[in-house]
Amino acid sequence: MPELLLCNHQESFAVSQLMRLFYGDSIRVEEQKLSVGSDDLKGFSLVEDLPDSARSGRQVIVKTRLGSFYLQRVVAAELKKREIGRQLYAAFVYETGISYPWGALTGIRPTVIASEYLNQGMPLHEVAEILTDEWYVSDRKATLCAETAQTEQRILKTIPDDSFLMYVGIPFCPGRCSYCSFITRDAPARADLLDAYVDAIIRETELFAGKNHLPVSSLYIGGGTPTSLSAEQLDRLLEGLFKHIRFLPAAEKTIEAGRPDTINRDKLKLLKKAGLTRICINPQTFHDKSLIRIGRHHTVEDVFTAYQSAREIGFQHINMDLIAGLPGETVQDVRASVEQALKLEPESLTVHTLTLKRSAGLFDAERPDESGLPLRPDVGQMLDETHVQLTRSGYKPYYLYRQKRSAGGFENVGYARPGYESIYNVGMMSDRRSVIGIGSGSASKNACNRAVDRLTNPREIKTYLERYEELAIRKRQLFQLTEA
């Protein structure tokens, strides 16, 4: 087990997160020293200024030693954190023999680095090769990353630079799924909060937007499950929101109706009449036994019924979500779920990897390994087969992200038929478009400057209800808006 000294840099948090992948959660952090276990393996991570580098732009030397492993490289100063992680990942692989499919790309958005290479004019196959050779990404994931980054760049160009993405969070569900770690409330049990929360959402939007008439290119109403609200509450929410939002022509307007047991024809008609253009109906799996196991209160038949109703009422863009790695499911089970989804022909489909945070009910039951990642060696095969099934059926990956503690360290991928990619998903993940977050736990970010400035609303609903007026004012300051 290693003892690692950090010399001339302050990246102890990032380094400790990386160490946890290989050595578990019992990392000791003492100022500039990180250690675990018996500390019988010594090493250091060092950053040095390159002499006379000011004349050609400031550069630094990043050096890593761990036992008999040694690596160094000269990089631009602003890339030192990235290089520290790259070198330490290689060192930990060398010492433990453990590796991960995404290699040293341990962050949420691995396509960021691929996009940088593409912006340099590098062809797709060379980008994939660099990801494999220098970042230790597997061949399959390197190709997926490069191809998805290319699509992300194309979609990003369709989103006006001066427009806003808008997210409205509705943190209520009909019940809590066993894999869920979000701070959501059981809607039937907290009916006393629902009306007050809808009022607060409308008022926060009004206070923030004021008379500025900000151009919104995409609205995403997520949660939780927004359709946990009653038809009357949904109607009031949408009327209040749309009164204060200036949508650009052909703006994308999405709502999560993820739990089919919260959908009926009256609600669907209301959503369609209000102008929602994209709806998410999320089975997660097409196996009733699995739905019971994870605490979903609907059946596979309910999914078919909700989907058919949405089609009959006129929704022309339906997204569906599936999860790879659910407890008790095999590769064959996931393959069958994808086949069922393809028979319905949704315009887009997102494949998630099971992610278990410590607050999720399944965390203990799934017995994660020391790194905190669920022990599911078959998840990689599930994702590989799913990719083949979807791409053969005309779907292409268009956005990609990763989460901590996902099974096997894998990814979540959004697939879509050409022309049906969600611009909200791409713009939000890119950090190159500004996002207005409304509601508890919603994050706003001003991407107008090189450094993205962020502001997050409190997750606790009662705190949000007490502070939404103050939060709206702070949000106006974040985006440097004039007074209403």
Q: How confident is the model at residue 107 (pLDDT cuts 50, 70, 90)?
A: confident
Q: What is the CATH number of the domain that holds 58?
A: 3.30.160
Domain match, 333 and 194 both: yes
Domain match, 280 and 368 both: yes
Residue 133 lies in a domain: no
**8 A C-beta contact, residue 241 and residue 205:** yes
- Helix 191-209 crosses helix 461-478 at what angle (to 10 degrees)? 10
Q: What is the pLDDT of residue 238?
A: 97
pTM higher than the cut 0.75: yes
Nearest-10 Cα torsion for 460, 464, 465, 471:
180
Domain match, 166 and 89 both: no
Q: What is the pLDDT of residue 190?
A: 65
Q: Picking from 42-56, 286-300, 325-339, 362-376, which range would have the lowest pLDDT averaged per residue?
A: 362-376
Tally of structural domains, the chain: 2
Q: How confident is the model at residue 373 (pLDDT cuts 50, 70, 90)?
A: very low
Q: How confident is the model at residue 370 (pLDDT cuts 50, 70, 90)?
A: very low
| CA torsion through residues 156, 259, 222, 198, sign | positive
Domain match, 162 and 93 both: no
Residue 387 lies in a domain: yes
Domain match, 64 and 208 both: no
Domain match, 321 and 209 both: yes
Domain match, 179 and 89 both: no
Q: Considering the chain, what is the average pLDDT of its residues?
A: 90
Domain match, 341 and 209 both: yes
Burial of 408 (0-12, 13-18, 19+ CB in 10 A): buried
Residue 481 lies in a domain: no
**8 A C-beta contact, residue 358 and residue 412:** no
Give 451 or 270, the one with higher predicted confidence.
270
Domain match, 45 and 182 both: no
* Domain final position from 99, 116, 141: 99
Q: What is the CATH number of the domain that holds 336?
A: 3.80.30.20
Structure tokens at 68: 């008999």
Residue 119 lies in a domain: no
Mean of pLDDT values over 438-448: 93
Backbone phi, then psi, for 141, in 5-degree steps? Answer: -70, -35
* Domain final position from 99, 124, 147: 99
Query: 146, 221, 141, 158: which is closest to 412 by C-alpha?
Result: 141
Domain match, 81 and 165 both: no
Residue 205 lies in a domain: yes
Q: Domain range spanning residue 44?
A: 1-99
Mean of pLDDT values over 412-427: 97
Residue 375 lies in a domain: yes
Residue 413 lies in a domain: yes
